[in-house]
Structure 1
Amino acid sequence: MKLSPSDLAAIEGAIRQAESRTTGELYCVVTEESSDYGETPLAWAAGVALLGPALLLLGGVHVSAPDLLGGWTAAQVSQAAERAARDALIGAILLQAGLFVVTLVVAAMPSVRRALTPRAFKRERVRRRAREQFAAKSLHLTRERTGVLIFVSFAEHMAELIADEGIAAQVDPKVWDQAMAALIEGLRRGQPAAAVAAAIGLCADVLAEHFPADPDGNPNELPNAVVVLPRA
């Protein structure tokens, strides 16, 4: 999912229009993906590989020693049992290694990796990167602590909204749910620019109610341009 130059311009215009109604400062950051989720292929490969011995048992592979009544000596029985156990162990190791490599290759494919990554884990990574951007872009340094970050991660179809303490002290976090729901729904429909612009408008409605524009001066403290981050 990509934003074209016209998409970026439309979002910037939505921010400019929104900020004309409020002393709040809206800042938008988008990224293709918030993490490489490198742990996911490794975890799945290790888990599947551990199933190797169980697959052997389910496949009917078993180790048995020869019947003592068949004329075998104790030494022969011991050697045969040792050889059978060694062959079974080598087979299990080879099977586990094969399962590990195959699963690792398949799970490393971007679409598969995202599908196999638990949603809660993706949510945590998106939230973490949003917090990093809030601090890195100095949204906490506005005059009245009224910075609002809208962070969008396209691959996960997730978004985060972080309001600075000046806003958080007066606005219930649940107030932003409608804007975030509209944003996520738009991402799922493959309309990122329209979704972000709609969310900005809904956020502006909240901000205008609690933090209306100052007629004596409404400085623009943060850039309106959308920040596009590379894949993490």
Structure 2
Amino acid sequence: MRISPADHDRIRRAVEEAEQATSGEIFCVIARRVSSYREVGLAWAAAAAMILPLLLIPLGFSPAWLPGFSDGWQAAQLAATPVTMAQTLGAYALVQVVIFLAVFLIHGLPVVRRLMTPASIRRHRVRKAAIHQFLAHGIHVTANRTGVLIFCALDEHRVEVVADEGIHSRVPVEIWADVTSALTRELRAGRPIEGFEAAIALSGEVLSAHFPPGPDNLNELSDRLVEL
């Protein structure tokens, strides 16, 4: 998904408009993905390489199934048994390697990676990435601790809203579910910019109800959208 300069301007203007009615700060981050989940792919690949080849045994698996492992001649001598066993083990090992690599590479596809990664792991990684961005951009050091981060992870299909401690004492956590729902709804429809605009507007309404603008109403955080 490409975000154009015009899209960045739309989000910047949405943040500016929302912050006119509040002393709170709104910060937006969008990430392509927060993790490669490589260890998950390795776990799936290892499990598949261990289990799937076993299904070939009842079918009478032999080296002859693989090119180069047998010339089609059957040896009658007992001395040929170790050679045949070695060929069988080598062919079996090759099947395991092929399955391992195939599953690992398939796991690299975004849709497959999302389906193969447990939701709890994706949720934890996105939450961790959102908190990292919250701290990295200094949202936690605003004067009245009234900063809000709207974070979207595209590959994971997850949205997080992180509000600073100055907000928690006055705003129920459940209210932010409306913000995440607004952004998620538009993301599903393929309209991320409209989703951010809706989430920003709702966040501004929540903040303005509890944190009206001060005499100076300083802009403590950048209004731009950060892309990762």
TM-score normalised by structure 2 residue count: 0.85
Q: 2:130 matched to which residue of 1?
A: 130
Q: 1:223 matched to which residue of 2?
A: 222
Alpha-carbon contact 1:145-1:165 (below 8 Å) kept: yes
Count of residues in Structure 1 that have an aligned counterpart in Structure 2? 215
Deviation at 1:213, TM superposition (A): 1.8
Alpha-carbon contact 2:110-2:155 (below 8 Å) kept: no
Q: Deviations over 1:153-199 (max 9, x none)?
A: 12222111111110012211111101101101111111010000101
Deviation at 1:100, TM superposition (A): 1.1
Alpha-carbon contact 1:3-1:192 (below 8 Å) kept: no
In percent, how many aligned pairs have the same letter?
A: 40
Deviation at 1:87, TM superposition (A): 4.5
1:171 partnered with 2:171 = yes
Alpha-carbon separation, structure 2, partners of 1:211 and 1:34? 32
Q: 2:55 matched to which residue of 1?
A: 55
Alpha-carbon contact 1:52-1:92 (below 8 Å) kept: no
Deviation at 1:79, TM superposition (A): 6.5
How do 1:75-86 and structure 2 match up within 5 A?
85-86=85-86
Alpha-carbon separation, structure 2, partners of 1:197 and 1:129? 22
CA RMSD, 1 decimal = 2.2
Q: Which amino acid is the alignment partner of residue 147 of structure 2?
A: G
1:101 partnered with 2:76 = no
Q: Which amino acid is the alignment partner of residue 220 of structure 2?
A: E
Alpha-carbon separation, structure 2, partners of 1:133 and 1:58? 53
How do 1:82-231 and structure 2 match up within 5 A?
85-214=85-214, 216-229=215-228
Q: Which amino acid is the alignment partner of residue 145 of structure 1?
A: R
Alpha-carbon separation, structure 1, partners of 2:97 and 2:143? 59
Deviation at 1:93, TM superposition (A): 1.6
Q: Deviations over 1:95-144 (max 9, x none)?
A: 21121122222222344333322232222211111111111111111101
Q: Which amino acid is the alignment partner of residue 219 of structure 1?
A: L
Alpha-carbon separation, structure 1, partners of 2:109 and 2:203? 36
Q: 2:70 matched to which residue of 1?
A: none
TM-score normalised by structure 1 residue count: 0.83
Alpha-carbon contact 2:31-2:154 (below 8 Å) kept: yes
**SS, match of residue 51 in structure 1:** helix
Alpha-carbon contact 2:30-2:227 (below 8 Å) kept: yes
Alpha-carbon separation, structure 2, partners of 1:177 and 1:58? 52
Alpha-carbon contact 2:45-2:100 (below 8 Å) kept: yes
Alpha-carbon contact 1:23-1:218 (below 8 Å) kept: yes
| Moved >6 Å (runs of 4+) | 77-81
Pair member with larger Rg? 1
Q: Deviations over 1:22-61 (max 9, x none)?
A: 1111111112211222223322211110114421233244
Alpha-carbon contact 2:25-2:220 (below 8 Å) kept: yes
Alpha-carbon separation, structure 2, partners of 1:40 and 1:124? 14
List alignment gaps of at least 5 residues for structure 2.
63-76
